[in-house]
Structure 1
Amino acid sequence: MAGWLNLLAKAKQYAQRAISGEEITTKEVKKQCEWFLSNLEQQEKEGYPFYLDSGEVNKIQGILSLLFFATGLGVIGKSILDGLEDFQAFFLVNIFGWRFKADPRKYRYRDVVLFIPRKNAKTFICAIILIILMLTEDGYSEFYSICLDRELAGRVKQAMTQIIQASPAIEKYFKLSKTLSSPITCELTGSFYQARTSEANRNNSIQPSAFIADEIGAFRDKSNIDAMKTGQLSVRNPLRFKITTAYAETESIMIEELDYIRKVYDGILEDDRLFALLYYAEEGHEWDDIGLQQANPLRIPENYQEIRDNRKAALEKPSERTEFLTKHMNVFVNDVKEDPYIIFDKWKKCEVGKIDLKGKEVAVGVDLSLTTDLTAVDIIYQENGKYFVKAHAFLPENSLAARRERIDYRQMEKLGYCTITKGDIVDYNVVEQHIRSIEETYGCRIKVIASDPYNAVQMMQSLAEDYEVVLIKQTYGNLSPPLKSFRNDVYLGNVFYEKNKLLDWNMSNATTVHGRTTDDILLAKVNKNKHRIDLVVAMIFPYSQIYLVDKSVDLSKLTEDYLSMMGW
């Protein structure tokens, strides 16, 4: 019992030091540490689905005691268990220790992310993960690492080989190979590891029990990772590791990954199967020792001094700054900072359980799409200077598999936040029927329907037979004043919206673009991560035109010439 407590004690110690501030680290790491300690308490509760398996932690500790460092300052020849840093123990205990109560063989965490800069033993931890998996997972399992080029792909295999050769108690159970394409085989389990380059077409016929996407910060598309994930469909206990340093790459898929992880930390999205440690210099600390410690959890004085020397050189030589920021501070350079439309914490304060529309005079906002974007229908009314909002989305069923956003739309539909229509494109008949049913469903009266004319002319002409309809051109002149006014109303506590996780996610994605010569703003139509903001757009339409501007278009005069003249 004392053995596994030693490893667990390191993990607990790291969590406690991070939370107290004694360990200088990032807000995301602190949050993960808070969850860890909270989960240790929750695991005893009936109905909590996960538990920390002490037997499995004990097994991992036993393996680590038989492995020895082959390289590293001051640790060569030392057992890995004895030389393991607290943050590394925290990482290993979490990914291998947490299990499902209903199936103790099943890992809680399926997606594991380690965002960490150079000189923090990234390749070492990859090697340890793979060796442990080869010794503990089901027989004849397949394990892979994928990287962009052969040189990088070979580093993990080289580290594994060095550790195995330095560990006589386990070396006899492994068959090593010299070429990159040849596998390392564990003769105890029949499992093997192979290093591969990230070529999606070559990765379609494999069945990885686990894979490590190494240096995915350099990846610009997900085809290779998707190929690996597809191969895991028939695997009982799939694991996916994403381990990387930052890059000077604006199209990196890791930027999108970081955005998703941070939304989970902020409570915007939920993902109990994700474990992530994000080490980087937080904004404002890229050039000081606080940022140095936040980004570099491996506390080796010689490394720190080298980083300080590189920092000094980078401050004096602009040509070296990108390399310093990406590889030592772990900051994506040229990642364009976007201005959030509304501070999300302030938006969440506007949430209420239910909006009662009975007897109210409401405005309806519509933002139509075909396939990728969401079609949004929002209902809003004003009373005593307060605004009350209810939102709903539509999307086509056949788009679900190919959507980039990691949103469980099936679950969102069950919660009543969206409707999934049959086919490849949104069924506008379903959308129109939804709008026409609003009065009967909620006992309210529609005063006006406001919509962007894009894709909407036919539906709006139909609705105009029974309702007042306003078409809105999305220009700075039309939307900048109401966008600012709505934001002010949110900050003043004048807006209330019915709880809706899909609307929350849209609001968290909403950023602004500015006019070239003015301080006017518009919502950015498409941001770099292809995130949706349609439910926010559909909220601004009725707010702007109905309560602030009150301009309308006579649909009886709506012609192609008129649309062309208006720039529609």
Structure 2
Amino acid sequence: MGLRGPGSRRKPVIDKPRRMPWNKRGLSRAERMIVFLEFLPITKGILAGKKMKLLPAQREFVEGIYGPESEDGRRLVRLAIKSEPRGNGKTGLVAGLCLGHLLGPEAEQRGEIYSAAIDKNQAGLLYREMEAIILAVPEFDARTNCQRFHKKIEVLEGDGEGSIYEAISGDVRRGHGLAPSLWVYDELAQTKTSELLDNLMTGAGKRNESLGIVISTQAATDQHHFSVMLDDAMRGTDPTIFCQLFAAPEDCDPFSEEVWKAANPALGVFLDETEFKAQAERARRSPGFLPRFMNLRLNMRIEAESRFLAAPDWRACGADIDFSGLEGKRCYLGLDLSSTTDLTALAAYFPEGGELLAWFWKPAEQLDEAERLDHVPYKLWVRQGFIEATPGRAIDKGFVVHRLAEIAGTYAVQGVAFDRWGMKEVERIMADEGVKLPLEPWGQGWQDMAPALDATETLVLQGKLKHPKNPVLDMCVANAVAVTNPAGARKLDKSRSTARIDGLQAAAMAIGLAARTPGKKKSIYQTRGLLTVNAA
């Protein structure tokens, strides 16, 4: 006998429907939603069986969404972002908001409500919470059809008649053709692509008062699409976006109880303090767990896996560089050639002043696919001049050789460190074009890369490196993970890095070559000055 789903149960019969409190006259739009949310039962946890009670921060979030109105009386906010640590009640809040749009005060006929997440199971968490609330409220249960297998809810009658809710995941093709009146993205920071998000946002344009809500902990890097969205929202320049961020500051003490409470509005209410302290103690004992604690429990933008260079240290080396002032100065180059379709990087390091420049190439016909796979704005960077798009579907190494020739004519190139892979064609083109440079083969293993990484890290930590805040190079640094052998030597590991690291690889080779090249001794006259001999 098969299990009987909720849709096949005997529905409750409501002889005398209650007057729902959110329909009381005189309530504002935000007040109606607050009353609706606080009518809903809590279905699990230590407060199960009680009515939902919004925390001050949750009430502020609801008021921030439904309070502001445009000149024509419609809701002004079209995108709401709530970023906070895990365990602060986001599932119950979002479930209530979805129900409010499905069958409550924000319901409309034939509305479409979607919850999205990285996979179907994650998206289904919200469905299960909504279903549990519906089953606990007879008036809701009587007029809905819950389809557990499909994670879908239909409104059969009453407010929102004909509306549907559905949990969807990262299948981007499913995201096409939707016209959401409300969409919710759960833990956007965990996704690798923004395609489903983009489809939901563009589909929302088919409704007069569409609303999108993102609730997520922070992503690990500045380059992640959620970080870009969050940073834009926090600037406050778009009145149609409301953003609420709870996060510990970058320079905080992660073991301070004051920091915990400031970042976690539910701590001590329904976020268990004993469990929280236990996780903090584990983070104190285990350095490997500390980044995860800081990201998930304090909502800090930090890698759960340690990167080769910490973001604050790298950002501190950003500088305004006088490019013309470097003409004729000594420099060392590092060249990281890609395969036919990947990112090719060239870096120049100037040891006298510590400046680091970088150039990048990408095949023009691969930009769309590369953006989809790497989740970074390659086309924007091309327009901004940070990447040179070469014609066709594969890297034209002739472009790289021409740039090498230009650099050789502008700066005093002392050497070019290169990965042997793919250099045969470059050397042939150089010979054909008459480009002569001191080439230095550079292995990618422990022997060559370990001292190069040490030299790079030392410059960064001592604040002696100056980079022009090139976003492509910044991306490569943010992605790079170093692995260590038993002897303590390090090298960059592309398999463990999150995405492209070619720019940092090229930079490390350039800096490593400069570090192992004997410095040119200064003349005694430069250090001592001239002696004047008076004739007797």
Larger Rg: 1 or 2? 2
Deviations 1:413-448, CA, capped at 9 Å, x for gaps: 2332112334433332333333333356xx434443
Aligned ranges for residues 362-377 of structure 1 at < 5 Å? 362-370=331-339, 373-377=342-346
1:212 alignment partner AA: V
CA contact (8 A) 1:367 1:377 kept: yes
Does 2:508 match 1:540?
yes
Q: Secondary structure at the match of 2:487?
A: coil
Match of 2:449 among 465, 479, 504: 479
Cα shift at 1:351: 1.4
Separation of aligned partners in 2, 1:538 and 1:336? 25
Counterpart CA distance in 2 for 1:325 and 1:493 is 28
Alignment of 1:437-516 (within 5 A): 437-439=406-408, 443-463=410-430, 465-468=434-437, 469-516=439-486
Instruction: Give 2:98's aligned residue.
Output: 130
**For residue 19 of structure 2, what is the aligned residue in structure 1?**
none
Between the aligned partners of 1:408 and 1:162, the Cα distance in structure 2 is: 45
TM, length-normalised to structure 2: 0.67
- Call closer, same or farther: CA 1:299–1:343 in 2, change over 3 Å: closer
Structure 1 residue 136: deviation in Å? Answer: 5.0
Asked whether the 8 Å contact 1:117–1:295 carries over to 2, the reply is: no
Q: Distance in 2 between matches of 1:98 and 1:227?
A: 28
Match of 1:432 in 2: 401
SS in 1 for 2:505: helix
What does 1:249-398 correspond to in 2, within 5 Å? 275=243, 277=245, 293=261, 296-301=264-269, 304=272, 307=275, 337-341=305-309, 344-345=312-313, 347-356=315-324, 357-370=326-339, 373-383=342-352, 386-397=353-364, 398=366
Seen in structure 2, the aligned counterparts of structure 1 residues 123 and 285 have a Cα distance that, compared at 3 Å, is same
Deviations 1:324-354 (A, max 9, x none): 989x95899xx96324335534543341243
Give how far 1:255 is off: 6.5
Q: 1:347/1:461 Cα in 2 relative to 1: closer, same or farther (>3 Å)?
A: farther
Unaligned runs of 5+ in 2: 1-26, 284-288, 519-536
Q: Is the alpha carbon distance of 1:74 and 1:351 closer, same or farther for their aligned partners in structure 2, counting shifts above 3 Å? A: same
Shift of 1:370: 3.1
Flag the 1:351–1:283 CA change in 2: closer, same or farther, 3 A. Answer: closer
| Whole-angstrom distance in 2 between the partners of 1:274 and 1:503 | 31
5+ residue gaps, structure 1: 1-56, 247-253, 316-320, 551-568
Superposed counterparts of 1:154-193, under 5 Å = 154-158=127-131, 161=134, 175-180=143-148, 181-184=152-155, 192-193=163-164
Helix, strand or coil at the partner of 1:454: coil
What is the deviation of 1:466?
Answer: 1.9
Instruction: Provide the rounded CA distance (Å) in 2 between the counterparts of 1:117 and 1:260.
Output: 20
For residues 317 and 217 of structure 2, the distance between their equivalents in structure 1, rounded to whole angstroms, comes to: 35
Cα distance change on mapping 1:258 and 1:293 into 2, 3 Å: farther
- Quote the residue 2:112 is aligned against: 142
Q: CA RMSD in A?
A: 5.2
Residue in 2 aligned with 1:556? none
Q: What percentage of aligned pairs have identical amino acids?
A: 18
CA change 1:85–1:496 in 2 (3 A) is: same
| 1:192–1:94 CA distance, 2 compared to 1 (3 A) | same
Partner of 2:20: none
Counterpart of 1:533 in structure 2: which amino acid? I
Q: Supply the distance in 2 between the matched residues of 1:280 and 1:369 (Cα, whole angstroms).
A: 39
CA distance, structure 2, for counterparts of residue 361 and residue 330 of structure 1:
45
Give the Cα–Cα distance (whole angstroms) in 2 for the partners of residues 454 and 346 of structure 1.
28
Alignment partners' CA distance in 2, 1:522 and 1:189: 58
Which residue matches 2:21? none
- Whether the aligned pair in 2 keeps the contact of 1:367 and 1:538 (CA below 8 Å) is yes
Find out whether 1:203 has 2:171 as its counterpart. Answer: no
**TM-score in terms of structure 1 length:** 0.63
Change (3 A) 1:125 1:546: same
Letter in 2 for 1:431: V
Amino acid at match of 1:471: P
Mapping of 1:12-91 within 5 angstroms? 59-72=29-42, 83-91=53-61
Task: Give the match's secondary structure for 2:86.
Answer: coil
CA apart distance, 1:459: 1.0
Query: CA 1:149–1:410 in 2, change beyond 3 Å: closer, same or farther?
Result: closer
Deviations 1:487-506 (CA, angstroms, capped at 9, x unpaired)? 32333343222342222232
Distance 1:522 1:94, change over 3 A: farther
Look up the SS of the partner of 2:459 in the other structure: helix
Structure 2 counterpart of 1:566: none
> What is the CA deviation profile of residues 101-142 of structure 1, one whole-angstrom value per residue up to 9, with x for unaligned ones?
9x98774647x4545434x43322112332454555987442
1:524 and 1:296 map into 2 onto residues whose CA distance is 35
**Residues in 2 aligned to 1:533 and 1:312: alpha-carbon distance in whole angstroms:** 32
Q: How far is the alpha carbon of 1:266 from its aligned partner? A: 8.9
Amino acid in structure 1 at the alignment position of 2:127: G
In the alignment, what sits opposite 2:381? 412
TM-superposed CA distance for 1:458, in Å, is 0.9
Q: Provide Cα deviations, 1:432-481, integer angstroms capped at 9, x if missing partner.
A: 333333356xx434443322122232113422552222221122222222
Once the two structures are TM-superposed, the CA of residue 389 in structure 1 deviates from its matched residue by 2.0
Provide the aligned length of Structure 1 versus Structure 2. Answer: 461
Match of 1:354, SS state, is: coil
Partner of 2:494: 525
**Aligned residue for 1:51?**
none
The alignment partner of 2:394 has SS state of coil
Amino acid at match of 1:534: D
